[in-house]
Copies of this chain bind each other. A is one copy, B any other.
Amino acid sequence: MHIATDTRSRILAAAKPRFHSRSYANVGIQEICESAGIQKGSFYHFFPSKRDLVMAVIDEFSDEWANGFVAEAFDPALPPMERIDYLIDAAYFWQKSIKQVHGRMLGCIFGNLTLEVSTQDDILRAKLLAIFTRAKSRFSETLDQAVAAGTIAPLDTELTAEAMLAYLEGVILLAKAQNDPELLYRLGPAIKTLRVELKAA
């Protein structure tokens, strides 16, 4: 591991907040290079294309969440339904802290990118879909355990998990439209009222 790989991480460090706070199309390679103190040719030594860069950014965000709030929230030591509360809380506080620093509600980078690029780039769409699929399984495992524990009545855990994920993304979308993370606080807890019944056999 050379110190030189530091260049790659400087590029990522410059790209991450930009893609999060603006959009895929609105962030240029040149700007990233300037911010990283790098020449454009050097950028293309580490990333074959802009798409590869944003995929690396997606991975970084994904890892950050998986090892951070998500790991805390989906702690097996917590009662299942409390994990969902925890996740909503974490999302709220995160968005709120970003707004305090940045002045704006930036929302979920996965949702942002999905709506921007998924009709134009199937590879990016697949990448983002994989993120959502993983998130959904965290929810469905939790719901399975809640049903097993008798905390909630039996339901279609797969579909309800997907519904909860959709709801979370939707609330973040609306909060972004209002530039106000407080909407997450007001609407977040209702996620637990969502139910998709089991289909009769």
Q: Is A26 among interface residues, defined by CB-CB distance under 8 A?
A: yes
Segment 175-201 of A: residues with Cβ below 8 Å from B: 176-179, 183, 186-187, 190, 193-196
**Which residue of B104, B117, B166 contacts A23 across the interface (Cβ within 8 Å)?**
B117
| CB-nearest residue of chain B to A117 | B23
Q: Is A61 among interface residues, defined by CB-CB distance under 8 A?
A: no
| CB-nearest residue of chain B to A114 | B177
Q: What residues of chain B lie closer than 8 Å to A167, measured between beta carbons?
A: 163, 166-167, 170, 194
| CB-nearest residue of chain B to A109 | B115
Segment 20-75 of A: residues with Cβ below 8 Å from B: 21-23, 25-26
Copies in the complex: 2
> Is the CB–CB distance between B111 and A115 below 8 Å?
yes
| CB-nearest residue of chain B to A105 | B119
CB contact under 8 A between A177 and B26, given known A166-B167, A170-B167:
no
A135 CB → nearest B CB, Å: 10
Q: How far is the CA of A171 from the CA of B173 in the complex (A)?
A: 11
Q: Is A94 among interface residues, defined by CB-CB distance under 8 A?
A: no
| Interface size classification for chain A | 35 or more
Q: Is A165 among interface residues, defined by CB-CB distance under 8 A?
A: yes
Q: Is A128 among interface residues, defined by CB-CB distance under 8 A?
A: yes
A146 CB → nearest B CB, Å: 16
Q: What residues of chain B lie closer than 8 Å to A14, measured between beta carbons?
A: none
A residues near B (Cβ < 8 Å) are: 21-23, 25-26, 104-107, 111-112, 114-120, 125, 128-129, 132, 159-160, 162-163, 165-171, 173-174, 176-179, 183, 186-187, 190, 193-196
